Amino acid sequence: MSFPISQQDIEKAHERISPFVHNTPILTSSSIDEIFGCRVYFKCENFQKIGAFKARGGLNAVLGIPEEIRQKGVVTHSSGNHAQAVAMAAKTCNVPAYIVMPSTAPEVKKKAVKGYGAQITFCEPTQIAREENAARIQEETGATFISPYNDYKVIEGQATSSKELFAEQENLNAVFTPVGGGGLLAGTSLSAHYFSPTTKVYAGEPANADDAHRSLKAGEIVKIPQPKSIADGLLTGIGDKNWGIIKELVDDIFTVTEDEIIEAMRLVWERMKIIIEPSCAVPVAALLKNRDQFTGQNVGVILSGGNVDLGRLPF
């Protein structure tokens, strides 16, 4: 089986972005291990630039645009971490960033995007309004569109997190990520395929937004209209580029309830003293729920991000 992204592509992406991102620490916790019945290695992308793994994909996409074209800027639509990632990457490359955000996006995220000097266009909180605004700006400015999740350069970038994890922990039986649009999961499964082929790949997904889970069962992309979950980073439907990789390389996708997400989030905050956002707690909840299947194993978990509004916590 050959894939649209090669081992060398991921290695090059890693070289490209390494000067600008953190090789994030891997943390363990004996009290978590006791509860889970396995040894868990947490790859802390919540400590990444912008507080999330999306810095990797955003940077790789923006750095990958030929210099001449890049000067015209980059454009994307996102309510969350991808907006910050593209804004940060554009600032790093000293080019304009045009970010379309739904007017309902949290103040803290609007502020962070502004902090990177991006030009924000607010729009109605619908997918169509977001896409139309981004398309219009693209036409007006000549800026390059960076998809939040369905882009091979973005996938390459996201793949570098687990590449680092596998380099440091050669003994992993399994690795877990969240799945929303599928960029992190696709990238992680490619990294496992190339750099740690005996490691099985799993994802956690909110039961309330379980299109990836259903797609894997059905063997084709299943769409869910307007899913709602506290895991606000995982509401996007799976992208077709990601799907092509995920359907071949992912072993299983486990769903978890809203309560299980909040419980896992709280567990990590209390036991590990680190801040993770609800979306990031989803694979933790998935591993906890299915821990009998992993007893005694070495399991990696990509902690995807830590951007939470401290004034609006679920506990």
Q: Would you count residue 222 as binding a second copy (CB under 8 A)?
A: no
Q: Would you count residue 111 as binding a second copy (CB under 8 A)?
A: no
Smallest gap from residue 281 Cβ to a second copy (A) = 13
Q: Would you count residue 259 as binding a second copy (CB under 8 A)?
A: no
Nearest residue (CB) to a second copy, 108 versus 218: 108
Q: Would you count residue 27 as binding a second copy (CB under 8 A)?
A: yes
Smallest gap from residue 283 Cβ to a second copy (A) = 17
Report yes or no: 99 and 77 within 8 Å, Cβ to Cβ.
yes
Q: Would you count residue 128 as binding a second copy (CB under 8 A)?
A: no
Nearest to 306 by CA among 51, 113, 117, 70: 51
Q: Would you count residue 312 as binding a second copy (CB under 8 A)?
A: no
Q: Convert 193-218 to b/e letters by CB count within 10 Å (16 or more is b).
A: bbbbeebbbbbbbbebbbbbbbbbee
Q: Would you count residue 80 as binding a second copy (CB under 8 A)?
A: no
Q: Would you count residue 274 as binding a second copy (CB under 8 A)?
A: yes
CA-based end-to-end distance of the chain: 46
One of 185, 275, 287, 302 touching a second copy (CB under 8 A): 275
Report yes or no: 133 and 121 within 8 Å, Cβ to Cβ.
yes
Smallest gap from residue 315 Cβ to a second copy (A) = 5
Rounded-to-integer distance, Cα 93 and Cα 109, Å:
21
Q: Tokens for 300?
A: 């990696």
3-state secondary structure of 233: helix
Kindly state the DSSP code that residue 310 receives in the 8-state scheme.
T
Rounded-to-integer distance, Cα 310 and Cα 51, Å:
14
Report yes or no: 289 and 164 within 8 Å, Cβ to Cβ.
no
Smallest gap from residue 81 Cβ to a second copy (A) = 13
CB atoms within 10 A of CB 80: 25
Q: Would you count residue 58 as binding a second copy (CB under 8 A)?
A: no
Cα 274 to Cα 152, 220, 235: the distances in Å are 31, 37, 24
Q: Would you count residue 315 as binding a second copy (CB under 8 A)?
A: yes
Nearest residue (CB) to a second copy, 199 versus 307: 307
Q: Would you count residue 84 as binding a second copy (CB under 8 A)?
A: no
Nearest to 54 by CA among 105, 2, 112: 112
One of 269, 289, 291, 297 touching a second copy (CB under 8 A): 269
Q: Would you count residue 20 as binding a second copy (CB under 8 A)?
A: no
Q: Which one of 154-162, 233-241, 247-255, 271-279 is the stretch in contact with a second copy (CB under 8 A)?
A: 271-279
One of 6, 15, 23, 25 touching a second copy (CB under 8 A): 25
One of 266, 289, 297, 298 touching a second copy (CB under 8 A): 266
Q: Which residues bind a second copy (CB under 8 A)?
A: 25, 27, 46-47, 51, 266, 269-270, 272-276, 306, 310-311, 313, 315
